Structures are given as structure tokens and as C-alpha cells.
Amino acid sequence: MKAIYLDHAATTPIHPEVLQVMVETMEENFGNPSSVHSFGRKARQILDRARITAAKSINASEKDIIFTSGGTEADNLAIIGVAEANKNMGKHIITTKIEHHATLHAARFLEKQGYEVTYLDVLENGTIDMEQLKKSLSEETILVSVMMVNNETGVIQPVQEIGELLKEHQAYFHTDAVQAYGLLPIDVTALGVDLLTVSSHKINGPKGSGFLYVHPDTKIFAQQYGGEQERKRRPGTENVAGVAGFQKAIEISVKEREERVNKYQKYRTLFLEKLKQSAVDFSINGNESERVPNVVNISFPGANVEQLLTNFDLSGIAASSGSACTAGSVEPSHVLAAMFSENSPCTTNSIRFSFGLANNEENVIEAAEKVGQIVGRLTK
């Protein structure tokens, strides 16, 4: 039995060209980019090139890119780094109830440090409440952090609108674009964001690599102490092979973005059509018009997440609930709880399917049929 991967929002298979670049880099280019000799310079060139590629992909300047170990580190650096550097301007932060834990737990940490954090509600369709955001802004607000696309539902948040709103406000604007990057066009100037998080392994690059875009006027404190790397904003010897692979993944994702969007949209539609034919009861969570094409979050009334996911896996279907696990058991989704309420059955009967490079029409159809059979058996 060959397992079918429908969990590309968790991580993605590495692109063969990315792998090749990484292997070459590790074989031929082991130098430390900070070294003052030819080995070091050769490695430094890789970083410089990657930085330009990363910057161009979001219409930024290369000096605005800080390479990190991934999305979590970039979110932490953005949120805690900005909060600490700007506390003389106020100690209020606004984020949302549906952020990734990398953001939420950074915000909780700041609360313990004496900051005040507002967690915005979302509407039932999964988008944040702009009116509540407007009301929550005060003279004390120094940072607003709203994700570009939610990782559990795929729903797009009104980032540009928030950018507009904050133009005349002192608050910095951070967006976690991990689930958007590679699928939505991103232009940091047009969006009006000051900080933006991207992760490599969500776009067929290696794990352990990511970047944070930081607008040059942004005051931010490093969260690590060490050498001069990343202009002291992120010390530590760079993950050169990881960055090289990341660069290749960015190049491919820029070149193939439209093609991928169309392909994933087709898979999603096909999957849902087949699921409808299986006559099981289901509903889609989140706004169907403002969303990325590769994610669908489905509620199966009468089923429960653990039973579904375990059965799927034993039948060779890899999906997820999108939310955190404690001691391996799935906790009710905080995102769906924010959309529907704590006690909604949706929080414990919903599965996220996400499409990508590991899919083709055949395996998407096969997966939908298996999912239909399993759900039918468990809910009859």
C-alpha cells in the first residue's frame, strides 16, 4: 500500500532540484560565510544570492531579509523583538485567536512580561473582525500581528486592508505569511507590512530554513546573542546548505506559482466532488471565496478526529487536524473554536486535507474514495 500524502500544509516533499543544490552545496562549499578567506567568501556568495532571490520574491530590498531557522523563529523574533525594542511607545499588542502557536505563545510570553495583548475574534467564515481591530487600536498599540492565510482553514485574512488602516498609526504590522507564500502574490510595499514571515519547508524547500522580512525603519531587538551574522539581528553560523535549498525552492515557486495554483485548485475540486459522490455527510469550514487553493478543512458530523485520522493513516491516507497535539492526542482546534465556539462539534470532527507536489489526479480520487468509505463506516 502506497500512502497518499494530503498534508502539504504541515510540510511538503522536497523538490528534486532543491535536493540537488543542497547536496552540491554541502559537497563543494563547506566554508563559514564569516571567514576572511576564499572558502568563506564562496559560502557568503550563496547567502548573498539567496538574499536577493528572497527579497525580490516579495518586492523588498535584500538588506531587509533575515534568514532564520524557520517560521517559528521568524515569528518569535518579529513579535518579541519589536515589542522589546518599542516598549517606550506603548505596551499593547494586537493579534488574533487563530494565529499559529509560534505567534500565540510568543504573545503569551509577552503578557507575562507585562505587555497587554488583544486577541481578535474571527467571524464564522474564519476571517478576522476588522471593526474589532479598529476599536482595539490605541495610542499604546505598538504591534499588530495578523497571519496572511490561516494554516488550518486556508482562509485569507484582509492583510492589505490592515496595512492601509495602520499607515497613519505608530504600530508596526507583522504578518505570518507561511501558508500564503508561493500561492498568493506578495508585495510588502503594496500590503503595507513591516515584518513578514516565510518558511522554506512549506514550499518544497528544506526544514530548518526561513526568513523574516523587516522594513528598514523597524526597530527590532535580536533574540539571540553571538556573532555579527545577519547584521547582528540573528547571530549564529548560517545554515548555508539550507539557505541554498531555500533559494532554489523560492525560484521554482515563483516560476511555477500560477501553474501550481491551478493544479491544486483542480485537486481540491476533484476531491470534494468525489467525496460528495460517496454520500457521506460533510461541510466545509471557512470562507469558500477568500482562501488559498490547496487547503480544505472539512467537518464530518458524527465522527471524531482521532478515530478519523488513525483510520485514515492505517488505510494509507495522511491528513491532519491542523491543530496541536498533547501527549499525542488531538486537542480541539483553537482556530475552529474561535470560528464556531468552544463547544462546537466542528472543533473535534474536522480534518484538514492539503494538496501539493505529492499529488496527482489519480491519488486524489483514490484518497477521496477511501475517505468516503471510512467516514461512511464510522458514522453509520
Active site residues: 325
Alpha carbon 126 to its chain centroid, in Å, reads 16
Q: What angle do CA 136, 155, 192 make, to 5 degrees?
A: 55
* Residues between 287 and 306 with contacts to another protein, criterion CB under 8 A: 306
71-85 helix and 101-112 helix, angle to the nearest 10 degrees: 30
- Select the residue interacting with another protein from 249, 319, 330, 339 (CB under 8 A): 330
Among 124, 281, 313, 361, which residue sits at the site for another protein (rule: CB under 8 A)? 313
**88: contact with another protein by CB under 8 A:** no
324 binds another protein (CB under 8 A): no
Distances in Å between the Cα of 204 and the Cα atoms of 45, 181, 338 are 22, 11, 30
Nearer to another protein among residue 86 and residue 344 (C-beta) = 344
Of positions 222, 261, 309, 358, contacts another protein by CB under 8 A: 309
Half-sphere exposure of 95 (CA within 13 A, CB side): 29
307 lines the binding site for another protein (CB under 8 A): yes
310 binds another protein (CB under 8 A): yes
Q: Which of these segments, 21-29, 113-121, 277-285, 323-331, binds another protein (CB under 8 A)?
A: 323-331
368 contacts 271 by C-beta, under 8 angstroms? yes
Question: Do residues 57 and 250 lie in contact, with contact meaning Cβ atoms separated by under 8 Å?
Answer: yes
- Residue from 325, 342, 360, 361 touching another protein (CB under 8 A): that is 325
Q: How far is it, in rounded angstroms, from Cα 88 to Cα 100? A: 27
* 378 sits near another protein (criterion: CB under 8 A): yes
Nearer to another protein by Cβ, of 95 and 311: the residue is 311
Number of residues lying near another protein (CB under 8 A): 15
Spell out the residues 6+ positions from residue 29 whose beta carbon is closer than 8 angstroms to its own.
42, 43, 46, 240, 244
Which residues lie near another protein (CB under 8 A)?
Answer: 306-307, 309-311, 313-314, 325-331, 378
